């Protein structure tokens, strides 16, 4: 594969191992541990996306990472806040994806418009 990657192959293997180990541990650990372990597994991916993303993506991801860190830190003292973060995070990510798509479509339209003869 020659396309640019966010993760190195080693990072991808570590993430794969973490997610599978989390699934296995979920069978023997108390259920409330699974959410934390899965969220912790996203950290290397988010960090790689911050390192390799464009400026706007980096800014959004850094804010999201701060929210994630706060939710993890509050997990023991305020389990409801952690669960609220887990509930809201997919919607936040979806809104960011839509914003990125709209931005990409706008840039694509400008590129095509500039290429047309007048």
The per-residue pLDDT for range 37-81, each reduced to its tens digit, is 888 888 988 998 898 888 888 999 999 999 999 999 988 888 899
| Predicted pLDDT at 38 | 87
Length of the chain counted residue by residue: 118
| pTM for this entry | 0.75
Q: Distance between CA 61 and CA 90 in Å, rounded?
A: 13
Q: What are the boundaries of each domain within the chain?
A: 9-115
pLDDT, average across residues 31-42: 84
Q: Distance between CA 77 and CA 98 in Å, rounded?
A: 34
């Amino acid at each position: 594969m020659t396309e640019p990657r966010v993760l190195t192959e080693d990072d991808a293997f570590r993430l794969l191992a973490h997610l599978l180990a989390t699934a296995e541990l979920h069978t023997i650990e108390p259920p409330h541990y699974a959410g934390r372990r899965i969220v912790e597994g996203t950290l290397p991916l988010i960090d790689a996306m911050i390192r390799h993303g464009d400026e706007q993506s980096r800014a959004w991801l850094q804010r999201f990472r701060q929210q994630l860190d706060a939710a993890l830190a509050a997990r023991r003292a305020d389990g409801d806040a952690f669960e609220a973060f887990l509930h809201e995070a997919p919607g936040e990510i979806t809104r960011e994806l839509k914003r990125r798509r709209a931005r990409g479509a706008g840039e694509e339209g400008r590129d095509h418009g500039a290429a047309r003869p007048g």
